[in-house]
Amino acid sequence: MNDVTKTYKILEIKQETPTIKTFTLDTALEGTPGQFVMVWVPGVDEIPISISNFDPLQITVKEVGEATKALHKKRIGDYIGIRGPYGNGFGLVGERVLVVGGGVGIAPLRTLMKNKNKQFTVVLGAQTKSEIFFEEDFKRNADVFVCTDDGSYGKKAFATQLAEELIQNNRYDMVVACGPEIMLKYLFGITEKHKINAQFSMERWMKCGVGLCGHCSLDPTGWRVCKEGPVFSSEQLRKVTEFFRYKRDQSGTEVEL
């Protein structure tokens, strides 16, 4: 782990979808799938972004606001700052793993596919065809099912519906997921109903990324998403009353989900 921000050159930029780009950096990291780095966009902000590949280091970023917009304007040869990796990452148990990714939440899940000892089934969900990415990468080590909200590609369904169908018809040892909290909320209900262990990667506003500022602490446990998370097990999710209900904005004020 590197707690000092170091700047690295952008070697490659790939437009994955109209809103998502993957940046390949002139470095490599060692770590666990599901971990994140703090990305410093000089003169703008520092933001948490999951690792979508360790060697070379890749981050896959959706343009949503100031920092991600500035990142999307970067060109090959520009430099950005990186510290990390941070957080716990996924801990896979059993053999048969159902992986569910929604939107840009698909990005960190790709790093799981390097594990050749598991049997992966992957559900990729997005609003529309053009927002599906990494499908071919997942297909190298998994059975992949795609769904879109508008039915423009794959099955017309939410990722949660497709996941429940798969769970009803197959045996999985665990479910891992990353995506919008509304997707995780319904998926959590499904995994609880079918009594399958789950691990979800959760997002909260964070400033330091190393457990000092407390901004990403969760009610009522005090667990910090940057330190004890971002991946939480079913057992932990049951204890965090704010999950699926509210989060805190930049000022710390509760915002309903």
Ligand X SMILES: Cc1cc2nc3c(=O)[nH]c(=O)nc-3n(C[C@H](O)[C@H](O)[C@H](O)COP(=O)(O)OP(=O)(O)OC[C@H]3O[C@@H](n4cnc5c(N)ncnc54)[C@H](O)[C@@H]3O)c2cc1C
Residue 243 class from Cβ within 10 Å (0-12 exposed, 13-18 middle, 19+ buried)?
buried
Residue 22 within binding range of ligand X, rule CB under 6 A = no
Output the smallest distance, CB 33 to ligand X, in A: 12
- DSSP classification of residue 142: E
Nearest to 87 by CA among 143, 31, 41: 31
Residue 45 within binding range of ligand X, rule CB under 6 A = yes
Count of CB atoms situated within 10 Å of the CB of 4:
7
CA distance 142 to 22: 21
Applying the rule CB under 6 A, the residues between 46 and 65 that interact with ligand X are 47-50, 60-62, 64-65
Site track for ligand X across 228-257, x = CB under 6 A: --x---------------------------
**3-state DSSP of 90-136:** CCCCCCEEEEEEEHHHHHHHHHHHHCCCCEEEEEEEECCHHHCCCHH
Q: Which of 67, 113, 124, 184 binds ligand X (CB under 6 A)?
A: 67
Instruction: With CB under 6 A as the rule, give the number of residues binding ligand X.
Output: 22
Contact 29, 51 (CB under 8 A): yes
| C-alpha atoms less than 13 angstroms from C-alpha of 146 in its C-beta half-sphere | 19
39 vs 190 by CB, closer to ligand X: 39
Q: Which of 24, 31, 36, 53 binds ligand X (CB under 6 A)?
A: 36
Phi, psi of 103 (to 5 degrees): 55, -140
Q: Which stretch binds ligand X (CB under 6 A): 148-156, 169-177, 204-212, 238-246?
A: 204-212
Three-state secondary-structure class, residue 163: helix
Q: Which of 92, 104, 112, 175 binds ligand X (CB under 6 A)?
A: 104
Q: Which of 203, 217, 223, 231 binds ligand X (CB under 6 A)?
A: 203
Q: Which stretch binds ligand X (CB under 6 A): 23-31, 41-49, 153-161, 232-240?
A: 41-49
Count of CB atoms situated within 10 Å of the CB of 136:
8
Residue 107 within binding range of ligand X, rule CB under 6 A = yes
Applying the rule CB under 6 A, the residues between 140 and 199 that interact with ligand X are none
62 vs 83 by CB, closer to ligand X: 62
Residue nearest to ligand X (CB): 65
Q: Which stretch binds ligand X (CB under 6 A): 9-17, 104-112, 121-129, 188-196?
A: 104-112
Three-state secondary-structure class, residue 176: strand
By the criterion CB under 6 A, which residues form the site for ligand X? 36, 45, 47-50, 60-62, 64-68, 104, 107-108, 203-206, 230
